[in-house]
Amino acid sequence: MKVLVVDDEKLIRDVIKEYLALENYEISEAENGLEALELAKNEKFDIIIMDIMMPKMDGYSACREIKKIKDIPFILLSARGEEYDKLIGFELGIDDYVTKPFSPKELVARIKAITKRKDTKSIVQIKGIKLDNVAHDVYIDDKKINLTPKEYDLLKYFIDNKNVALSRETLLSNIWGYDFYGDDRTIDTHVKTLRKQLGKYKNFIVTVRGMGYKFTYEEKE
C-alpha cells in the first residue's frame, strides 16, 4: 500500500514514516499542499495523511483540489480540535480527522481501518456474526435478526474499525453526521440495544472508559 504523508514539520513526517515503515507501507512525502497536489496528479496513492496548516497551500485547499481529480481517502491532521475545523474537513469528503498530538500507533490503526473499508466484501463474517452488505441483513449464528438502519450502520462501523477505540463524537459524526443535534446518550442507547441483539456476542462491544467503545474479540476461544 502506498501512503502520501504531507506536513511542513519534518519531525512529524519522520515519526509517521517510521511507524508506517514497520507495516511495510510504501511512503512518499511532501511539505506543503502544492507538492502534495503535484504528487497526487502523477502518482497513485491508497491514502493521504495531510496536515491542515501549511505554507503555500493549506491542507483544506489541497484536499479540495486533489478530490477534483482523484478519489483518494484522506486523514487530516491538525493542532486545532474545534468542531468547525472538523466540519470543514468532513464536508470536503475526508475519511477521518486526527488532532495533534496524536498516537502514531492509533494513526496506523485508523489508516488500516479506512483502507480496509475501501475493500469491503459483500459478506463479512466475525465469529457467528454475519453481515450482508448488499442486502443490509445481519445474521447471528445463521439466524436473521432485525436491526434498525442506524443499528446496522453502527455494527458495520464497529466491525470495519475492529480493535480501534472510538469516541462517542467519532461515532456520532460518522454515523449520524455533523448536522445531527443529539448527544452522547444517543450512542449509549443504540449500543445498549445493539448489544441485546447480538446475544452471546454482545461482549464484543467493549466500553472504553472515559472515551467510548471498541469492537474486539479473541481470535481463539
CA distance 159 to 18: 27
Least trusted range by pLDDT, from 53-67, 154-168, 175-189: 175-189
- Tell me how far apart the alpha carbons of residues 217 and 202 are, in angstroms, rounded to a whole number: 10
Domains of the chain as residue ranges with CATH: 2-118 (3.40.50.2300), 123-215 (1.10.10.10)
Instruction: Report residue 135's pLDDT band, with 50, 70 and 90 as the boundaries.
Output: confident
| φ, ψ for residue 49, nearest 5 deg | -105, 115
pLDDT tens, 70-102?
A: 878 899 998 876 777 888 888 888 888 898 888
State residue 201 phi and psi, 5-degree precision.
-100, 10
Residues 6+ away with beta carbon under 8 Å from 100: 12, 77, 78, 79
* Confidence (pLDDT) at 221: 42
Question: What are the pLDDT digits (tens) for 28-58?
Answer: 999 999 999 999 998 889 899 999 999 999 9
Report d(CA 198, CA 183) in Å as an integer: 24
The x, y and z cell numbers of residue 96, run together, are: 477521518
pTM of the predicted structure, to 2 decimals: 0.54
d(CA 203, CA 31): 44
